[in-house]
Amino acid sequence: SMAGDVIKFQDGAAFVRPSHCKVGTQFAEFRLVSGVDVPLGRMIFVHAQREGILSSFVGLAAKVLDPYLPEADSPRVILPQGLRFLMVPTIMIGVGLMANTVSEELQLTGHPKEFCEAVAKLVGMDPGDSTALMSRGTSQVLGIVKALLVDPDVLCLVRPLSMVPKDMIDPVAVLLRLWQAGGGAPAIADLVEQTPEVPKTVYRSTRRTLILGNVDHRPFGNCSLDVLLDLDKHLVQ
């Protein structure tokens, strides 16, 4: 495959906790025995027994972490140039600090009010609800919807459905699938028959990559293009 079509973890690629700066406790050290290529433009289901290792692997893929290896020739994680990466934490921190309602929080992405409210309703949220009073599960849904409206090229989520209320799991899974397969926020806009905020002058690829860590596969259905990655098989034990 061409270099620009994969996120490439070279043989021996590792995450080592740096001594010079603080890194969240959710990230654990690991080293890969064998390299891993994560193809772009797909839905990638990554599984690992240890969540800290999973978070570090996904964090490296999302450019949230650096490998932090001192040797110049140490194995690397090679990311394609010019792509926008986003990693969403399992629990949204800071939701409700600025905005009052679901609608206002989603409008921070720059999209029109009507579009934001239509998408909120799609997953069973009331656009007028206060974000300050949300359950963890609903704030997890809000974090996912907000990320889809921000519309990166590569979106990484660890346990994205872990707290989502039962009646919202299927709509959220369908929305994630649509975003990835349909070409981003414009596909969601088509579904709700609204116009997203897109700069008309900028050409942008419709290819979207969704990396999901330790998620139940079932709500997403099966697609022959999906990639299932068992991280434990690649780790130095």
- Exposed (0-12), middle (13-18) or buried (19+): which is 35, by Cβ within 10 Å? middle
pLDDT digits (tens, 9 = 90+) for 16-47: 877 666 666 778 889 899 999 999 999 999 99
Side chain identity at residue 100, one-letter code: N
3-state secondary structure (DSSP) of residue 187: helix
pLDDT digits (tens, 9 = 90+) for 127-152: 999 988 888 899 999 999 999 999 99
pLDDT digits (tens, 9 = 90+) for 177-231: 999 999 999 899 888 887 666 655 567 788 999 999 999 889 998 888 999 999 9
Q: Give me the phi and psi of 236, to 5 degrees please.
A: -75, 120
pLDDT band at 97 (very low <50, low <70, confident <90, very high): low
Please choose, from the candidates 168, 170, 174, 179, the residue with its C-alpha nearest in 3D space to the C-alpha of residue 146.
179
Task: Confirm if 106 and 146 have CB atoms less than 8 A apart.
Answer: yes
Contacts of 18 (CB under 8 A, 6+ apart): 66, 68
pTM of the full structure = 0.89
- Exposed (0-12), middle (13-18) or buried (19+): which is 180, by Cβ within 10 Å? buried
Q: Give me the phi and psi of 183, to 5 degrees please.
A: 100, 35
pLDDT digits (tens, 9 = 90+) for 55-70: 999 999 998 887 766 6
Helices (H), ranges, the chain: 51-61, 102-107, 113-122, 136-150, 166-182, 185-192
d(CA 184, CA 130): 27
